[in-house]
Structure formats: structure tokens, C-alpha cells
């Protein structure tokens, strides 16, 4: 069955998806109040959250697609650097990852009604 999944580009298991989320955990701010003022030690803003992690295996390689929520105030340059940081973090932890595709979404502000 495992070989069949490799041949058909099957999605990864929920366990692997959780593992990928855990790898990115250090890049995510622990509370929304810390997001705007917090920066990583390399000066990049913290992610608000990582959602919709999808990955598929193609032979011995893995392709990852995810959505990262970020503060709406960051620059395009900062977003590009964050994308590189996410990709590097995942590839350093899991050698089978060939490609990482990140979609950024600004954090929604809660309206006070």
C-alpha cells in the first residue's frame, strides 16, 4: 500500500502534517498581542499562525503547501524573507522536502461590536 501511495502522489498522513506544524512552531507568536511587537532573533516579524498544511509525496520527495497568517503591517520584503525562513526551516528538518509553497494571509482584526 505504501508503494501505491508513492506512485499516485498521495497526500501525507495526518501525523506527518502535525509534524510539519510542530517544526514551524518556533516561528509562530504564542499570543496575538505579541505578534505586532515581537520579532524573531533575525529581526523578522513572527507569524500569527500556520494553517492549511498540505503535503504530498512524489516518490522519495515531499512537496509542502501551507498558509501562514502574518501581521498586515509587514512589508513585501519582510514577507519574502519570511517565506525563505519557512522553507529553510522545513527543509533543514526534513531532508525529503523538495519544494515549499507559502501563501500569506493578513491576520484578521476582530471588530468590536
> What mean pLDDT do residues 7-26 have?
87
At which residue does the C-alpha cell 494571509 appear?
105
What's the CATH number where 58 sits? 3.30.70.1350
d(CA 11, CA 107): 27
Provide CB contacts within 8 A for 85, sequence distance 6+: 27, 40, 42, 44
Does the pTM surpass 0.85? The reply is no
**Range of 29's domain?**
2-106
- Please check whether residue 112 lies inside any domain of the structure: no
Position 81 confidence tier, pLDDT thresholds 50, 70, 90? very high
In this predicted structure, the answer to whether residue 2 has a pLDDT above a threshold of 80 is no
More confident call, 113 vs 83: 83
The alpha carbons of the chain give a radius of gyration, in whole angstroms, of 15
For the chain, the domain total comes to 1
- Please check whether residue 111 lies inside any domain of the structure: no
Amino acid at each position: 500500500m505504501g508503494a501505491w501511495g508513492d506512485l499516485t502522489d498521495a497526500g501525507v498522513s495526518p501525523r506527518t502534517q502535525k509534524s510539519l506544524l510542530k517544526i514551524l512552531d518556533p516561528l509562530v507568536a504564542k499570543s496575538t498581542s505579541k505578534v505586532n511587537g515581537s520579532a524573531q532573533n533575525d529581526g523578522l516579524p513572527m507569524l500569527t499562525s500556520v494553517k492549511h498544511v498540505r503535503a504530498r509525496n512524489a516518490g522519495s520527495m515531499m512537496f509542502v503547501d501551507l498558509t501562514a497568517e502574518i501581521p498586515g503591517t509587514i512589508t513585501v520584503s519582510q514577507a519574502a524573507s519570511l517565506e525563505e525562513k519557512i522553507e529553510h526551516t522545513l527543509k533543514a528538518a526534513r531532508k525529503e522536502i523538495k519544494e515549499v509553497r507559502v501563501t500569506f494571509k493578513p491576520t484578521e482584526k476582530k471588530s468590536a461590536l
